A and B are shown apart, each in its own frame.
Chain A
Amino acid sequence: MKFSVVIHAAPYSAQAAHSALRFSREVLAQGHEIYRLFFFGDGVHNASRLAVVPQDEASLQADWEDLITEQKLDSVVCVTSALRRGILNATEAKRHELDAVSIRDSSEIAGLGQLIDAVTHSDRVVNFG
């Protein structure tokens, strides 16, 4: 089956982001496809490349990136949510004359159209928030 997973929660402040990661891994382990991961609202913080966690803790952001890269997943961060929360790629940083790129290379910034596209192309959409 084709799944899309929508992540509404920031890492650490809620368990939901971790649940979404565990769920996504299990979906793939069972041989299903993930059409898209879509990070929305506070969920965009999962794509931050500037987060630092203590050495004895797992980095949820790094774990997402590992999953996305290893499994070649399509990962999209909602542009409106991202810009408001300081999650920028090089294009957006340049456009807004800001001096840092804060999004990981594994995720793209795009509009809500990508969520609707995911809904229309997926057999199941599962939200975590």
Chain B
Amino acid sequence: MSCLHLINRSPVQGALPVCSTLVRGGDGVLFIEDGIYHCLQAELISNLPPDVELYCLREDLLARGVGSRVTETVESINYSRFVELCCEFDKVVSWF
């Protein structure tokens, strides 16, 4: 069963180092809140397997003034798509 992993803490506080060792092909990672700062630098998310889909929440990017700085491997989505993703993946794992 596939997982959508939610990362909401900034890179220095976050759980991505452990999360990135547990994700599997076919999983997704969605960066929200301060988690979106992972998406400004490709090297911060380079440990994630290539067959994992990466998303970040547009509202949280815009709030933080970084809407145009997201690295190209990450898809920027809205709340509506967030809910759709929760349905598409079999479960949601929050890493706060």
Q: Which residues of A contact B (CB under 8 A)?
A: 1, 3, 8-9, 15-16, 19, 22-23, 26-27, 29-30, 32, 124-129
Contact = CB atoms under 8 A, between A and B. Distances in A.
Contacts of B83: 23, 26-27, 30, 32
Interface range, B side: 10 to 19
Contacts of B84: 30
- Main SS of chain A's interface residues? mixed
B66 interface: no
B53 interface: no
29 contacts: A1-B87, A3-B86, A8-B96, A15-B33, A15-B60, A16-B8, A16-B33, A19-B8, A19-B32, A19-B33, A23-B82, A23-B83, A26-B79, A26-B80, A26-B82, A26-B83, A27-B83, A30-B80, A30-B83, A32-B87, A124-B91, A125-B92, A126-B94, A127-B6, A127-B92, A127-B96, A128-B8, A128-B96, A129-B94
- Main SS of chain B's interface residues? helix
Interface in B69-96: 79-80, 82-84, 86-87, 91-92, 94, 96
Interface of B: 6, 8, 32-34, 59-60, 79-80, 82-84, 86-87, 91-92, 94, 96
Contacts, number: 50
A23 B85 CA distance: 12
3 closest A-B pairs by CB: A129-B96, A127-B94, A26-B79
Contacts of A129: 8, 94, 96
A16 B79 contact: no
